[in-house]
Amino acid sequence: MSTGDAPEHPSTIPAEARTHQGQPAGVVTRLLAAALDLVLVSGLLLVSYVGWTMVLFVLQQRDFSVPRPSLAFVVGAYLVVAISCLAIPWSVNGRSYGQHVMGLRVTTRDGEPLSFLRALLRAAVCVFFPVSLLWAVVSRRQAGAHDLLLRTVVRYDWRTWR
Amino acid sequence: MDRPPAVSRDLALDDRGPRGGAGGSVTPVPDAVLGAASLVAHRLGHLGHVAVRVAGPGARLVLDPPFVPFHRRPARVVDALAERGRRERQSTGRRLEGLVAALVPALVGRLAQLVPLTDLVRQSIDLDAVVADVDLDTAAGRIDLDALAARIDLDAIVRRIDVEAIVRQVDVTKVVMEQVDLDAVVGGVDLDAIIDRIDLEGLANEVIDAIDLPEIIRESSGTLASETVRNVRMQSIDADRAVERIVDRLRIRRNARPGGRLPDGSPT
């Protein structure tokens, strides 16, 4: 499978994985990748919260109190961070951090890398409707609902990060 | 002192041989008879010579009398007879030559059948001595080898030669190693041109493809994380295929997914 200017070279892929290279990815691997992405987003939010708290502690030493952001703010921050953590890597490298760990790559059906707009829309759909991924269980092409909507494919790709 | 008679003089002259030869202990009768015959013949020859000298003018006068017309003289008759005799002799000679030409080959052929000439030559002639006397260099110098070679059909000869059999008997490797300056040969080879003709990139890719390079790198670096990631990836792929099989078994999908494969590589 090609992702633009990167030539496919099977020698960089372990021998036992070469038969799977370029095949549509299954739902288990994709769920694990999504879970890793969720962990990453949660970690970023947690680090951001801790950092924000420390900044407030430094600035408001007398009347310091632990910040209690509203639910809307938390949800908003989660949406922004999550969509950013998915859309930017997809448009740049075709794989989020979780997909990088699991050896997956997102492309169009033609094997081309996603444009930023398509990556942004896909990320939004994934964040708002994560259950759309489960459609891959019953899909003939291992495609989630967002893949069918945006005509994208997730394949096994064990090549090293470009 | 009186001169000895002529016969005694001739005998004295002819008697010098036996005296100086065998010693003359026994008088050889055959030699005496032969000496008498020789003496008689000598005398007759002398008398004939004298007779010719005496009778010659008379005979010439008889055969060629000046008072007889030229064409009627007896000498002309003798000349005509001599001419006829000469023609007859020539004719007879020619007939004899024809006869000899007809008889001799047949005679020689028959003789060759009867006599083993080859054995006869071997027994009678010292061929080594004969050949030793032959100046072969001079004989060879007289031979026009160019003309001889031009008459030889070398192509036909070469076609009859089994070159492959000859080559099989030759240790070509040994000949090359001993006779050929391999360093000079290799030095004359344009290695750059050869390398330019080789698809080094394709060759390197084939070699790299044949070996599990990631495995080698992983073993050499000993990265625990990459090994863990690899195991997680493979196990997740196995889980994917297991889910596919379960779904197929539940007949949620009527047909197998296009391109779908089991973990062992076989189609679903």
Q: Lowest mean pLDDT of A124-128, B58-62, B236-240, name the range.
A: B58-62
Residue A10 lies in a domain: no
Residue A122 pLDDT: 93
Percent helix, percent strand, percent coil in chain A, to nearest 5: 60, 5, 35
Pairwise CB contact (< 8 Å): A11 & B230: no
Residues B243-258 have a mean pLDDT of 69
Question: Shortest Cα distance from B213 to chain A (angstroms)?
Answer: 6
| Counted domains in chain A | 1
Pairwise CB contact (< 8 Å): B232 & A26: no
Residue A7 lies in a domain: no
Pairwise CB contact (< 8 Å): B230 & A14: yes
**Which among A160, A157, A142, A151 has a CA at the least distance from the CA of A114?**
A151
Q: Could you give the CA distance from residue B231 to residue B125 in angstroms, rounded to a whole number? A: 104
Pairwise CB contact (< 8 Å): A158 & B233: yes
Residue A3 lies in a domain: no
Question: Shortest Cα distance from A72 to chain B (angstroms)?
Answer: 36
Which residues of A fall below an 8 Å CB-CB distance to B? 9-17, 19-20, 23-29, 32, 101-103, 137-138, 140-142, 156, 158
What's the pLDDT band for B92 if we cut at 50, 70, 90? very high
Q: What is the mean pLDDT of chain B?
A: 79
Chain B, 194 to 213: residues with Cβ < 8 Å from chain A are 205, 208-209, 211-213
Question: Shortest Cα distance from B176 to chain A (angstroms)?
Answer: 43
pLDDT at position A58 over 80: yes
User: In this structure, what token pair is assigned to residue B161?
Assistant: 């030669």
Selected residue with higher pLDDT from B12 and B46: B46
pLDDT at position A4 over 50: no
Indicate the residue type of B105.
Answer: P
Residues B47-61 have a mean pLDDT of 87
Helices then strands, counting H and E runs in chain B, come out as 16, 0
Q: Lowest mean pLDDT of A10-19, A62-71, A76-85, name the range.
A: A10-19
Name, in order, each residue with C-beta under 8 angstroms of A155's C-beta and a sequence gap of 6 or more. A1, A22, A23, A24, A25, A104, A105, A107
Pairwise CB contact (< 8 Å): A14 & B247: no
- The share of chain A scoring above pLDDT 90, in percent, equals 49
- Which of B213, B229, B240 should one mutate to test binding to chain A, selecting the residue with the greatest count of A CBs within 10 A? B240
Residues A33-44 have a mean pLDDT of 94
Pairwise CB contact (< 8 Å): A14 & B255: no
Residue B143 pLDDT: 84
Domain that holds residue A140: 23-63+71-156
Pairwise CB contact (< 8 Å): A140 & B209: no
The per-residue pLDDT for range A23-34, each reduced to its tens digit, is: 899 889 999 999
Q: Lowest mean pLDDT of A50-64, B30-44, B222-236, name the range.
A: B222-236
Q: Could you give the CA distance from residue A90 to residue B164 in angstroms, rounded to a whole number? A: 69
ipTM of the complex, rounded to two decimals:
0.83
- Report pTM: 0.47
Residue A6 lies in a domain: no
**Which of A11, A25, A101 shows the shortest C-beta gap to B208?**
A11
Residue A90 lies in a domain: yes
Pairwise CB contact (< 8 Å): A32 & B232: yes
Residue A8 lies in a domain: no
DSSP A94: S
Residue A14 lies in a domain: no
Question: Shortest Cα distance from B214 to chain A (angstroms)?
Answer: 6
Q: Could you give the CA distance from residue A39 to residue B123 in angstroms, rounded to a whole number? A: 121
Q: Which residue of A has its CA nearest to B255?
A: A140
Chain B, 114 to 173: residues with Cβ < 8 Å from chain A are none
What's the pLDDT band for B259 if we cut at 50, 70, 90? low
Residue A130 lies in a domain: yes
- Which of B233, B245, B252, B253 should one mutate to test binding to chain A, selecting the residue with the greatest count of A CBs within 10 A? B233
